[in-house]
Amino acid sequence: MARTRLVAGNWKMHGSRASNRALLDAILAGMGNAGAQCAVCPPFVYLQQVAERLRGTPVAWGAQNVSEHAQGAYTGEVSAAMLADFGCRYVIVGHSERRHLFGETDAQAGAKFAAARAAGLTPILCVGETLGEREAGRTEEIVARQLAAVEFAGGVLAYEPVWAIGTGRNATPEQAQAVHAFLRLRVPPDTPILYGGSVKAQNAAAIFAMPDVDGGLIGGASLVAAEFLTILRAAGAKGS
Ligand code: PGA
């Protein structure tokens, strides 16, 4: 069976009620029959607004982070059950900004992945190497280590080279394919593996044409409806 193709927007810490409304309206108006699954991941505080707008539409929604704990005295944290309560289908786990700016460990990513699964969510696990690690020839070692910390089943995997995130410097389609093929052997065969890191309307089709790239996790370009829709259509057109 063909693997699910997915384009997920990671809005990061962007948006307002007014800009979210305009963005969602434009996505829904323009998406037509996209041919790929589509999701957006807004900041926690906007999940209610996004859920109200997207319920009953083909666009799913998710969160950008989740607590590894089920409940309790964890000030500022949000549990997987709370995300499920707001209709989230997805949650991003182990994003490089969480790992590098907030000190999240491989073990925490593993615990968050398990917590998400236990609440019925589909975790999108991010793995990826820094520029120094790539230049030292350690890319496979790093992504294998990040993946090994997770009991991976029932999730989506995203390869996001840290040096390509928000930098305008994307991996070449061949670089992405090489790592995706490496990861493919280490996850269940039906796992969608997304590429993330400076995916734009202009480079999406070439990256998605690679055999082991099943879609994208999109940061900056997910905030611009026309860009995001072009990327979504590029994923939908793959192989057709
Ligand atoms: P970018 O971010 O598309 O802005 O590079 C991707 C991500 O962080 O998921």
> Which pair of tokens denotes residue 14?
């962007």
Backbone φ, ψ for residue 217 (5° rounding): -110, 115
- State which ligand 1 atom lies nearest to the alpha carbon of 166: 5
Output the CA 124–ligand 1 centroid distance in Å.
Answer: 14
Per the CB < 8 A criterion, the answer to whether 213 and 180 are in contact is yes
The tens digit of pLDDT for each residue in 154-208 reads: 999 999 999 998 888 888 999 999 999 999 999 999 999 999 999 999 999 999 9
Is 219 close to ligand 1, i.e. is its CB under 6 Å away? yes
pLDDT at 205: 97
| Residues forming a β-bridge with 196 | 217
Output the CA 84–ligand 1 centroid distance in Å.
Answer: 24
pTM above 0.95, yes or no: yes
pLDDT at 121: 98
Backbone φ, ψ for residue 167 (5° rounding): -105, -15
- Cα separation, 136 vs 122, whole angstroms: 33
- State which ligand 1 atom lies nearest to the alpha carbon of 167: 5
Is 160 close to ligand 1, i.e. is its CB under 6 Å away? yes
pLDDT value at 1 more than 80: no
